[in-house]
Amino acid sequence: MMTISPINAFSDNYIWLIERGQQAFVVDPGEPDPVLTRLAERGLELAGILITHHHFDHTGAVQVLQEKTGCDTWGPASSPAGIFDHTVTEGDRASVLGESFEVLEVPGHTLDHIAYFCSAQSALFCGDTLFVGGCGRVFEGTTAQMRASLEKLSALPTDTRIYCAHEYTLGNLAFAQMVEPDNVALSTFVAACQDKRARDVPTVPSVLEGELSYNPFLRWSSAAIRQTLIDAGRLRDDSPDGVFSAVREWKNQA
């Protein structure tokens, strides 16, 4: 059986550990020591590393882990992060401990950003593209690219679990409540997440079905969000891209 668990790194990163038997993969290792410690504790052999995008807090441990374990690496083609053993693009598949992980290109946060979807495990590893209750900042792409990437992810099966790379949930949800204050699914989810954080339990993964109901960055069709933007004088372009851009700009300033 395959299990997935978080390894904490830096102040709020999650490195995802995927294990089956004595073999393991990690996703986006920014720091080597927490990974090496966990592998030793659990008696695991590192078989591979999956990278979603080039940012240092997702790739900083790749070289050390490769040198120490000889594992293979998978990452986006034409990435500033360098050469991986397996460079992958849209529709490619990575074999991860006997399961097939499909590659989805999701540019926006960075241009090289990819996500890995495992349908057998209903698991999506989406780096800094979709967060619980939020989305990544648009550093390299356009907001239209980012929205298209999020639309691609939102078309996955609704039971897909969202393994993103940061614990940003409570801040994201506070913003979500500002743009959609009467959303009941949102307020219910906020209470559940506050309870988890009070007990130091990760809020990640979430489930796509929930994200579609409360995440303002997937809700460009929401009449309530559109009205909030109009009331705040922030809606200049009344299209899905316009709504998404206005929400993203507001969050950047919040």
Determine if 167 is a binding residue for Zn ion (CB under 5 A): no
Q: Does the annotation count 55 as an active-site position?
A: yes
Q: Name the catalytic one among 54, 57, 112, 113.
A: 57
Query: Site size for Zn ion, by CB under 5 A?
Result: 2
Exactly one of 28, 54, 113, 166 is catalytic; which is it? 166
Distance (Å, whole) CA 61 – CA 48: 12
CB of 137 to Zn ion, least distance (A): 8
**Does the active-site annotation cover 54?**
no
Residue 153 token pair: 């992810």
Q: How far is the CB of 92 from Zn ion (least distance, A)?
A: 21
28, 54, 58, 112: which is the annotated catalytic residue?
Answer: 58
Angstrom distance (rounded) from CA 224 to CA 131: 21
Q: Does 55 bind Zn ion (CB under 5 A)?
A: yes
Please say if 57 is a catalytic residue: yes
* Residues linked to residue 94 through DSSP beta bridges, in sequence order: 101
Catalytic residue check, 166: yes
Active-site annotation holder among 28, 53, 54, 112: 53
Active-site pick, 28, 109, 112, 113: 109
Q: In the complex with Zn ion, which residue's Cβ is closer, 126 or 229?
A: 126
Compare residues 106 and 243 and give the one whose CB is closer to Zn ion. Answer: 106
CB of 7 to Zn ion, least distance (A): 17
Interface pick for Zn ion out of 112, 128, 180, 211 (rule CB under 5 A): 128
The reply to whether 113 belongs to the active site is no
Long-range CB pairs of 176-181 (<8 Å, 24+ gap) are 176/133, 176/134, 176/214, 176/215, 176/216, 178/228, 178/254, 179/216, 179/225, 179/228, 179/229, 179/247, 179/250, 180/214, 180/216, 180/219, 180/222, 180/224, 180/225, 180/228, 181/228
For the CB of residue 135, give the shortest distance to Zn ion in the complex, in Å. 11
**Which residue lies nearer to Zn ion by CB, 55 or 226?**
55
Stretch that binds Zn ion, among 49-57, 64-72, 117-125, 211-219 (CB under 5 A): 49-57
Site string for Zn ion, 189-228 (x = CB under 5 A): ----------------------------------------
Nearer to Zn ion, 104 or 225 (CB): 104
φ/ψ of residue 110, rounded to 5: -135, 165
> What is the smallest separation between the CB atom of 159 and Zn ion, expressed in angstroms?
26
User: Half-sphere exposure (CA, 13 Å, Cβ side) for 20?
Assistant: 11
* Residues binding Zn ion (CB under 5 A): 55, 128
Q: Which residues are catalytic?
A: 53, 55, 57-58, 109, 128, 166
